[in-house]
Amino acid sequence: DAGITQSPRHKVTETGTPVTLRCHQTENHRYMYWYRQDPGHGLRLIHYSYGVKDTDKGEVSDGYSVSRSKTEDFLLTLESATSSQTSVYFCAISAPGTSGANVLTFGAGSRLTVL
């Protein structure tokens, strides 16, 4: 998957517990993204990062935080998981300044179930 690894790939947790999803890339791309995918909604942006320690909110950021301490790693944290956060989470990367500047490459996804 073009040098993007997501972990864990599947997780079942209980309401109120913290959860961290990890995205690791080996492409040295500057931009990294977290999207969630739910039936009827397509892909919705949660947070994105444009460099180490540089992050910004997407359209559905409530209840989520992110951190990027290294170029290769982008972490998504649910401080207190709720059932509405049951979803499939995709990490993506892109390399602006190239001919395919807006082309995002996606990881395999992490399926999270909150009971």
Contact residues for other proteins, defined by CB under 8 A: 1, 31, 33, 35, 40-45, 48, 50, 58-59, 90, 94, 96, 100-109
Closer of 72 and 109 to other proteins (Cβ): 109
Closer of 85 and 89 to other proteins (Cβ): 89
Question: What is the bridge-based pairing of β-strands 54-57 and 42-51?
Answer: antiparallel
DSSP state of 85: G
Query: Torsion over CA of 46, 23, 87 and 42, rounded to 10 degrees?
Result: 60
Residue 16 CB, shortest distance to other proteins, in Å, is 29
Residue 83 CB, shortest distance to other proteins, in Å, is 22
d(CA 104, CA 92): 6
Residue 3 CB, shortest distance to other proteins, in Å, is 13
